[in-house]
Structure 1
């Protein structure tokens, strides 16, 4: 990496940075339909960036986003606490193996402590060995099952 890396949380006014992060996700996940198709408009992105429960952290070098993560603060009902779900994490291929993902997660852990969250949790797919190795190094592994349940429109009686 040529320039110094800066890690920061996005906020109001960071609409273009949010778009750049989505483009990074599209490339890193090889999923251009999800991350570039039907892109949200500026008003939508501004509303999301204004929400405390949506945590977007980026790593920048030489004025470009080289990594980022999206996480969600999930308040719990059974206790006066929340958990943070790390949903997306990606680093530009040319900038991998330089500690960027670790720095992004560390910033998320600091944010979690600042807001009094109980834990940060993340899923990894079988076969994604780099992600599994990173998360194993940083936390405690739990083997769980994940199910996607479709929304069901209400039927009129």
Structure 2
């Protein structure tokens, strides 16, 4: 059953909604520390949302953030093209399995088309079967390894 939701791209004036989305991410990913313990200030969030290459979408139901994604547009060097990477995507538990994640990705695909992006890509964790099923429904699966390489710290 699909529920009526509004999918919106956040603008600099909607920084408070990004805070709501971060809280949702923290809950959905079981990581409230990362998403809520050191929130950036209002100026930082407004500046971030004002950047063309940062795409923050929210799904609103009855005015509340019930899902969202954050993606980044990457300019490529090997060809004159760009790709869009979905960094975070989540829907709150009571609103899952109702087409919200698909609607968010469909809106991102529309933005990708307007931005003349070559592809939208996303990673999923092994064992996250709902995410894998969603992404397989929408795209082609590749077998890759992902590595986190930390920067040097003093």
Q: TM-score, normalised by structure 1?
A: 0.94
Identify the residue that residue 60 of structure 1 maps to in structure 2: 60
Gaps of 5+ in 1: none
- Paired position in structure 2 for 1:73: 73
1:107-147, Cα deviation, whole Å (9 max, x unpaired): 00000000000000000000000000000110000000111
Q: Displaced runs of 4+ in structure 1, greater than 2 A?
A: 1-4
Larger Rg: 1
Match of 2:88 in 1: 88
Partners in 2 of 1:129 and 1:8 — Cα distance?
27
Distance 1:2 1:85 in 2: 26
Listed as ranges, the gaps of 5+ residues in structure 2 are none
1:2·1:62 contact (CA, 8 Å) conserved in 2?
Answer: no
Distance 1:34 1:40 in 2: 12
CA contact 1:3–1:62 (8 Å) conserved in 2: no
TM-score of the pair, normalised by structure 2: 0.96
Residue in structure 1 matched with residue 122 of structure 2 by the alignment? 122
Partner in structure 2 of residue 23 of structure 1 = 23
* 1:5–1:60 CA contact under 8 A, matched in 2: yes
| Mapped partners of 2:25, 2:149: distance in 1 | 24
Aligned to 2:32: 32
